[in-house]
Structure 1
Amino acid sequence: MQFKDQISFVGQHIKKNKMRVFMTVLAATMGTAFLIVLASVGFGLHETIRGEVLSNRLVTQIEVFSSEMDEEKVVELKKRDHVKAVVFRQNLGAEQLSSIGDFTGNSQLVVTDFTEEKKANFELQEGRLPEKMNEVVVGSNFADSLMNQQDENEDGEFTTYDGKLIGEQFNYQIGDDEGEMIEDKMMLTIVGIGKKPAKDWEQDQKIYADASIIPELEKIYYAHVDKPVDDNTDAQQLFYGNVNVYADKLENVKAISTELKDDGYSVYSISEELDQLDVFFLALKAGLVFVGTIAILIASIGIFNTMTMAVTERTREIGVMKAIGADPKLIQRLFLMESAWIGIVGTVLAVVISYGVSIVSNYVLPIIVTAALGEEDFGDMTVTFSVIPWQLVVIASTISIGVAMISGWRPARKATKIDVINALRQEL
Structure 2
Amino acid sequence: MMRLYYIAFLAVSNLKSRRLRTFLTVGGFTLGVGIIVFLLSFGYGLEKLLVERIIKFENLTVVEVASASSNLIKISEDSLEKLKNIKHVMYVSPSVRVPAQVKIEGSMIDVAVYGIQIDKFRIENIEPLSPEKRIGFTSSDAEEIIISSGLADTFSDKNFEKGDQKIGLHLLLQRQVSDEEKQKSMADTALQIDELKKQVIEESVKKTGEVDNDYISQKLDELEADLLGRDENEAEVIEKDVEVTVKGVAKGSDIEAFVPISFLKSLAEVKNYDSARLRVKTRQDVQPVKRTVEELGFLAFSLADTEEKINQIFTIVKVLIGLFGGLIIFIAALGVFNTMTISLLERTKEIGVMRAIGIESKHIYKVFLFESMFIGIIGGILGIVLGIVSARIVNLIMNLIAVKFGGEQTSLFYFPAVLVMAILLAVILISVLIGLYPARRAVKLDILDALKYE
The question of 1:87 aligning with 2:93 is answered: yes
* Secondary structure, counterpart of 1:195 in structure 2: strand
Is 1:137 aligned to 2:145, yes or no?
yes
| Aligned counterpart, 1:210 | 261
- 1:113 equivalent to 2:146? Answer no
Q: Distance in 2 between matches of 1:142 and 1:31?
A: 47
Deviation digits for residues 320-343 of structure 1, max 9, x if unmatched?
343455443332222111101111
Q: How does 1:189-228 map to 2 (within 5 A)?
A: 189-193=243-247, 195-198=249-252, 200=253, 202-205=254-257, 208-211=259-262, 214=265, 217-218=268-269
* Residue 37 (str. 1) matches residue 38 (str. 2): yes
In structure 1, stretches of 5+ residues that fail to align are 148-159, 219-236
Partner of 2:24: 23
Identity %: 23
Could you state the TM-score of these two structures normalised by the residue count of structure 1? 0.74
**Contact 1:134-1:188 within 8 A present in 2 as well:** no
| Aligned-pair CA distance for 1:239 | 4.2
Q: What does residue 417 of structure 2 align with?
A: 390
CA contact (8 A) 1:336 1:409 kept: yes
Q: CA deviation at 1:363?
A: 0.5
> In 2, Cα distance between the equivalents of 1:411 and 1:392?
30
Is the CA contact (8 Å cut-off) linking 1:173 and 1:186 kept in structure 2? Answer: yes
Which one has more relative contact order, counting CA pairs under 8 Å at least 6 apart? 2
Deviation at 1:17, TM superposition (A): 1.5
Asked if 1 retains the 8 angstrom alpha-carbon contact of 2:169 and 2:241, the reply is: yes
1:11 CA displacement: 2.5
Output the CA distance in 2 between the equivalents of 1:413 and 1:283.
Answer: 39
Q: Does 1:73 pair with 2:42?
A: no
What letter is aligned with 1:85? Y
Equivalent residue in structure 2 for 1:297, among 327, 330, 338: 330
Deviations 1:101-133 (A, max 9, x none): 966666555444322335656567887526375
Q: Partner of 1:425 in structure 2? A: 452
Deviations 1:253-281 (A, max 9, x none): 45644554566642111111111111111
Gap regions ≥5 residues in structure 2: 68-72, 176-232
CA–CA separation in structure 2 for the residues paired with 1:172 and 1:295 = 64
* Cα RMSD (Å): 4.0
Could you list the per-position Cα deviations for residues 51-98 of structure 1 after superposition, in whole angstroms to 9, with x for gaps in the alignment?
221369955432112434322332343355654431111345xx8677
* 2:405 counterpart (366, 371, 376): 376
Tell me the distance in 2 between the aligned counterparts of 1:247 and 1:181.
Answer: 36
Q: Which moved more, 1:53-62 or 1:355-364?
A: 53-62
CA distance in 1, matches of 2:93, 2:124: 8
Q: Is contact 1:126–1:192 with CA below 8 Å preserved after alignment? A: no
CA pair 130-281 structure 1, distance change in 2 beyond 3 A: same
State the SS of the aligned residue for 1:403.
helix
Contact 2:96 2:261 in 1 (8 A): no
Amino acid in the other structure paired with 2:143: E
Which amino acid is the alignment partner of residue 275 of structure 2? N
Does residue 365 in structure 1 map to residue 398 in structure 2?
A: yes
CA–CA distance in 2 between the matches of 1:3 and 1:304? Answer: 23
Structure with more of its chain in helix, by fraction: 2
Q: TM-score, normalised to structure 2's length? A: 0.70
| Count of residues in correspondence between the two structures | 385
Matched ranges for 1:269-418 at <5 A:
269-324=302-357, 326-367=359-400, 370=402, 376-378=405-407, 382-418=409-445
Q: Cα–Cα, structure 1 residues 9 and 243, in superposed 2: closer, same or farther, change >3 Å?
A: same
Displacement of 1:99 in angstroms is 6.8
Partners of 2:250 and 2:140 in 1: how far apart? Answer: 24
In the superposition, relative to structure 1, how do residues 335 and 364 fare at CA in structure 2: closer, same or farther (>3 Å)? Answer: same
Instruction: Give the letter for the 1:377 counterpart.
Output: G
- 2:224 alignment counterpart: none
Matched to 1:25, the amino acid is V
Shift in Å at residue 204 of structure 1? 0.8
Please give the alpha-carbon distance, in whole angstroms, between the structure 2 residues aligned to 1:313 and 1:146.
79
